[in-house]
């Protein structure tokens, strides 16, 4: 059995480590389950987990095996697994679950708060981590569950929950009074979900997508942006309009250029992702132009918890579910799913995905076995 690990100081480096499922089964305690991971998605969102691994704690969810130096970690992924051993009442062998996993063949879990629809992983080291990541859904308890949508769900559901939270946060703040929303890395799946959600809203300002020239035609074909500007045309941004910016990439040079150009009309800059993690330590003079007093990092799990408090869990699930379902239906028009048959094949494409060399209309599903 295998576990795919990432070198924390250089996300392009990876290794496969052998794990011992037989020993894990022998050590299974009362109240534990062992699940075998069937499939998981890998997107730019997982790169963000690595870039923020120490500051937010993503490396802590699934401690790496055979990692005496502490230099290696498991990038969390979203996907599906099957319970193959159970010492927990209410969770049977053969039950399929959806949620947050390591890129590995199997995982030992300690379920708590078990219901016919879901449970939480109560393993001790996850207790202080964001609760939204510790929640797992039981497929047998889901009405109208369609297994044919597993791949799209693994790819888009986590991203479009973030898109939903961004839309909701912008709307609740009346878009910070802005007359345009500028979305950087407009070809990213989270950005697409956000732009589609804003396009559906009756009161949203003009939505401007910023993307590479290579991805221009793809972004234009989506039909959810009012205007599209390439990175080599940043001077075309309408500087006269009050602006809220949503940044999916963390490219400091781009941020500095736009912050300087917009000046006082840059009302708020919301940072969501860090796919350009390699620029985070650059000494680019444009980074000094970033208006940090009007910048903030958007942490979707915190917004989820806020809305669960406001609406209740069922209320949040209903609203977020309707939003993500609409986005997944729209994805049929633009996304193709590529399956990777094993970890060996995944290792071959991993580094390219980490540095952004993946077509934006593709989704990557890894099959560990």
Q: Distance between alpha carbon 348 and the CA centroid of its chain, in Å? A: 22
CA separation, residue 91 to residues 39, 120, 126, 203, 219 (Å): 20, 12, 20, 45, 44
CA pair distance 329, 152, nearest whole angstrom: 9
Q: What angle do CA 203, 209, 214 make, to 5 degrees?
A: 155
211: tokens are 């993307």
What are φ and ψ of residue 292, in 5° steps?
-75, -20
| pTM (predicted TM-score) | 0.89
Per-residue pLDDT of the chain (369 residues; tens, 9 = 90+): 799 999 999 999 999 999 999 999 999 999 999 999 999 999 888 888 887 778 788 999 999 999 999 999 999 999 999 999 999 999 999 999 999 999 999 999 999 999 999 999 999 999 999 888 999 999 999 988 999 999 999 999 999 999 999 999 999 999 999 999 999 999 999 999 999 999 999 889 999 999 999 999 999 999 999 999 999 999 999 999 999 999 988 788 899 999 999 999 999 999 986 544 444 444 667 777 888 899 988 989 899 999 999 999 889 989 999 999 999 999 989 999 999 999 999 998 998 888 888 889 999 999 997
What are φ and ψ of residue 132, in 5° steps?
-60, -30
In order of start, what are the domains of the chain with their CATH numbers? Answer: 2-145+335-366 (3.90.180.10), 159-301 (3.40.50.720)
Specify the length of the chain in residues. 369
Cβ distance 287 to 257 under 8 Å? Answer: no
Question: What three-state secondary structure class fits 118?
Answer: strand
């Amino acid at each position: 059995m295998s576990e795919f690990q990432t070198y924390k100081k250089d996300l392009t480096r990876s290794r496969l480590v052998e794990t011992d499922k037989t020993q894990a089964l022998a050590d299974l305690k009362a109240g534990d389950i062992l699940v075998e991971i069937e499939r998981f998605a890998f997107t730019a969102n997982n790169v963000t987990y690595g870039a923020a691994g120490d500051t937010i704690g993503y490396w802590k969810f699934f401690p790496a095996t055979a990692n005496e130096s502490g230099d290696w970690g498991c990038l969390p992924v979203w996907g599906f697994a099957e319970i193959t051993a159970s010492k927990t009442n209410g969770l049977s062998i053969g039950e399929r679950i959806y949620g947050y996993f390591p890129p590995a063949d199997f995982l030992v879990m300690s379920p708590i708060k078990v219901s016919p629809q879901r449970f939480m992983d109560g393993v001790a080291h996850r207790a202080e981590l964001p609760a939204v990541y510790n929640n797992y859904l039981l497929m047998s308890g889901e009405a109208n569950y369609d297994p044919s949508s597993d791949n799209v769900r693994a790819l888009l559901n986590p991203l479009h929950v973030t898109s939903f939270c961004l839309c909701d946060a912008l709307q609740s703040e009346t878009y910070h009074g802005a007359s345009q929303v500028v979305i950087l890395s407009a070809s990213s799946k989270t950005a697409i979900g956000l732009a589609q959600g804003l396009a559906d809203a009756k009161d949203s300002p003009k939505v401007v997508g910023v993307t590479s020239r290579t991805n221009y035609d793809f972004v234009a074909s989506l039909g959810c942006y009012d205007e599209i500007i390439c990175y080599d045309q940043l001077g075309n941004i309408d500087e006269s309009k009050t602006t809220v910016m949503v940044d999916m990439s963390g490219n400091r040079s781009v941020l500095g250029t736009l912050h300087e150009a917009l000046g006082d009309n840059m009302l708020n800059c919301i940072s969501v992702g860090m796919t350009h993690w390699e620029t985070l330590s650059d000494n680019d003079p444009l980074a000094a132009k970033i208006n940090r007093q009007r910048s903030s990092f958007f942490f979707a799990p915190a917004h989820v918890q806020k809305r669960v408090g406001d609406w209740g869990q069922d209320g949040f699930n209903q609203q977020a579910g309707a939003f993500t379902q609409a986005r997944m239906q729209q994805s049929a028009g633009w996304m193709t799913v590529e399956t990777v048959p094993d970890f060996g094949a995944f290792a071959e494409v991993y580094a390219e995905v980490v540095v952004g060399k993946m077509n934006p209309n593709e989704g990557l599903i890894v099959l560990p076995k």
